[in-house]
């Protein structure tokens, strides 16, 4: 007896109801092939691209050949606690690219992982290690200040009025004890993690706290440190949140024979985590003006910035990093998805040397991370992106412009149906208007259930052999993230499918949307 439906049966049922329960049997370039009823392969133009993982397309021939070569050569996948020259190569290349694109010589230390969420968590863990060590260093400095003050009191110094109040009218040792207790209580307050509303950083226990969408975050909010969300593009809100979280530790100064209290900033801000182009939040690029302001605010507060380029990086927006194009510099960068060339599971977190804590590599590790197979593929992927003086980045920008122009044409022709068209390079989104008040009961229901974008995806798949998905947290925005190799005829196919979808929404033809 064969038991079926054990692998995520709920998801399967949802896919079935939306016409998305198809099996893909082969993938090449921007095409996925599914098996038709007669057994033949049917090509589908894939604009989802592994949620941004296929900047070079599916099964790129050079990456595929390298993978086959590596397997034939029996390259070790498991050689933990030995030298990893391949990982070193990837780290060096990434440093060269970062230096060139940001002007910051770094260097950045690389910590490898298997997925985007895992690499985001590695960055946050590192930031918390750094914060904790900085707090401990501050408390040790305050202990030294206290010893100095103790010696001064023995030599005749007196306590200031504020110091006497803290000592509850007592002597120097009461003051020292009160100071230690107050500082310890403040240092034990939980860290403050900041992220932007609309942001997406993964779904693991820690990273899901940074993912704004309450549907995926809230059931798990008790499992890890919560995050404070601030609205994107609002520097004043960021500054206000940081000011509100400001805490001080108390130290002692001695001057002119008087021991007085001194305030030191206690490191409380673990990190601000953000995407330069919010992907799952509906493809929303941050502006250069906001980047400049948030950089200044974070520098003043000594708050590290984790730039999550899991989806926007690897050339997708027309430069290796989307952040460098808006002048944003990270203390940390996170890359995944396309780093594995569409074939391997590879992710990396990069931490700037001014924050790097050497012991971290022993505190954080993962069995499969940094293996020769995935890092050699990542290195070749970087080679391919960087080849011909960065031709792939220019190609991403040029293909992106061309698609954007088509999308803008659709928006102009269907203003009643399309709310907006946004994005950079090959990270584009087309936002449909809500159909909650549609005259078609089917459209009304789909819209109110938050699945209109998925139903549109089912229609585009069956009627136009197009694979388009909504973004995870903004489900009326259709994501368009093909590879740099997308051709003009493929762009035309995408345009005609999207125009047909808009036409159907304009005529409120819900039945046709659901017809298979
Ligand atoms: N960060 C961003 C910006 C992402 O888009 C994603 C995935 N959509 C993640 C993190 C999580 O990556 P993964 O699914 O590989 O864990």
Residue 327, sorted as left (phi over 0), alpha (psi -120 to 50) or beta, turns out to be: left
Looking at residue 2, its pLDDT comes to 62
Token representation of residue 330 = 């990270």
Number of domains in the chain: 2
d(CA 455, CA 453): 5
**Does a structural domain hold residue 92?**
yes
Query: What is the rounded (10 degree) CA torsion for 64, 68, 70, 72?
Result: 180
Domain that includes residue 322, residue range: 85-370
> What digits encode the pLDDT tens for the residues 328-339?
999 999 999 999
Beta-carbon contacts of residue 154 (< 8 Å; ≥ 6 apart): none
Ligand 1 proximal residues by C-beta, below 6 Å: 51, 115-117, 120, 200-202, 275, 279-280, 308, 310-311, 336
CATH of the domain at 56: 3.90.1150.10
The burial class, CB within 10 Å (0-12 / 13-18 / 19+), for 125 is: middle
Looking at residue 108, its pLDDT comes to 98
Q: Are residues 352 and 398 in the same domain?
A: no
**Does a structural domain hold residue 193?**
yes
Cis status of the peptide bond prior to 273, with omega within 30 of 0: no
Q: Are residues 231 and 103 in the same domain?
A: yes
Going from the Cα of 324 to the center of ligand 1, the distance in angstroms, rounded, reads 19
Q: Are residues 397 and 360 in the same domain?
A: no
**Does a structural domain hold residue 77?**
no
Going from the Cα of 10 to the center of ligand 1, the distance in angstroms, rounded, reads 22
d(CA 458, CA 63): 31
Q: Are residues 94 and 209 in the same domain?
A: yes
Instruction: Give the residue carrying structure tokens 């051709």.
Output: 487
CATH of the domain at 242: 3.40.640.10
**Does a structural domain hold residue 37?**
yes
Looking at residue 219, its pLDDT comes to 97
Q: Are residues 15 and 96 in the same domain?
A: no
Q: Could you tell me which of 382, 233, 226 has the C-alpha nearest to residue 313? A: 382
Going from the Cα of 202 to the center of ligand 1, the distance in angstroms, rounded, reads 5
Q: Are residues 238 and 119 in the same domain?
A: yes
Q: Are residues 396 and 336 in the same domain?
A: no
Looking at residue 4, its pLDDT comes to 67
Q: Which residues of the chain have pLDDT under 70?
A: 1-4
Q: Are residues 181 and 288 in the same domain?
A: yes
CB-hemisphere CA count at 13 Å for 386?
Answer: 16
Q: Are 54 and 382 in contact (CB under 8 A)?
A: no
Q: Could you tell me which of 284, 293, 289 has the C-alpha nearest to residue 317? A: 284
């Amino acid at each position: 007896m064969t038991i079926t439906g054990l692998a995520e049966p709920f998801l399967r049922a949802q896919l079935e109801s939306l016409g998305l329960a198809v099996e893909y049997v082969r993938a090449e370039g921007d095409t996925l092939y599914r098996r038709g009823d007669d057994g033949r392969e049917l090509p589908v133009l894939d604009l989802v691209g592994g949620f941004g993982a296929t900047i070079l397309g599916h099964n790129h021939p050079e990456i595929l050949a390298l993978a086959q070569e590596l397997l034939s050569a029996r390259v070790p996948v498991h050689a933990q606690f030995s030298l990893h020259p391949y990982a070193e190569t990837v780290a060096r290349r990434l440093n060269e690219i970062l230096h060139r694109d940001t002007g910051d010589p770094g260097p950045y230390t690389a910590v490898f992982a298997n997925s985007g969420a895992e690499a985001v968590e590695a960055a946050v863990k590192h930031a918390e290690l750094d914060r904790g060590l900085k707090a401990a260093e501050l408390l040790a400095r305050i202990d030294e200040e206290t010893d100095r003050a103790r010696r001064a009191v023995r030599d005749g110094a007196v306590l200031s009025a504020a110091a006497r109040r803290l000592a509850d009218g007592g002597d120097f040792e009461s003051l020292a004890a009160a100071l230690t207790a107050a500082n310890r209580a403040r240092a034990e307050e939980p860290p403050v993690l900041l992220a932007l509303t609309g942001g997406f950083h993964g779904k693991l226990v820690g990273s899901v706290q940074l993912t704004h969408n309450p549907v995926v975050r809230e059931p798990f909010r008790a499992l890890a440190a919560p995050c404070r969300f601030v609205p994107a593009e609002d520097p004043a809100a960021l500054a206000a949140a940081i000011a509100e979280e400001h805490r001080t530790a108390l130290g002692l100064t001695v001057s002119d024979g008087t021991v007085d209290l001194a305030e030191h900033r206690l490191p409380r801000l673990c990190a601000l985590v953000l995407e330069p182009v919010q992907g799952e939040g509906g493809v929303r690029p941050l502006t250069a003006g906001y980047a400049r302001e948030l950089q200044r605010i974070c520098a003043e507060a000594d708050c590290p910035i984790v730039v999550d380029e899991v989806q926007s990086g690897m050339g997708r927006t027309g430069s290796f990093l989307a952040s460098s194009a808006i002048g944003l510099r990270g203390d940390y960068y996170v890359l995944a998805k396309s780093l594995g060339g569409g074939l391997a599971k590879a992710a990396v977190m990069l931490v700037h040397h001014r924050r790097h804590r050497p012991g971290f590599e022993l505190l954080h590790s993962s069995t499969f991370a940094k293996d020769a197979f995935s890092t050699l593929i990542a290195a070749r992927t970087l080679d391919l992106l960087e080849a011909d003086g960065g031709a792939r980045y220019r190609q991403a920008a040029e293909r992106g412009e061309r698609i954007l122009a088509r999308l803008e044409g659709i928006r102009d022709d269907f203003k009643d149906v399309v709310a907006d068209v946004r994005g950079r390079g090959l990270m584009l989104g087309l936002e449909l208007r809500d159909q909650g008040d549609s005259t078609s009961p089917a459209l009304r229901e789909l819209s109110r259930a938050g699945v209109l974008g998925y139903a549109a995806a089912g229609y585009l798949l069956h009627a136009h052999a197009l694979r388009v998905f909504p973004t995870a947290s903004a489900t009326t925005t259709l994501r368009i993230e093909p590879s740099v190799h997308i051709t003009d005829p493929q762009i035309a196919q995408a345009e005609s499918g999207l125009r047909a979808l808009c036409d159907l929404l304009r005529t409120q033809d819900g039945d046709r949307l659901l017809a298979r």
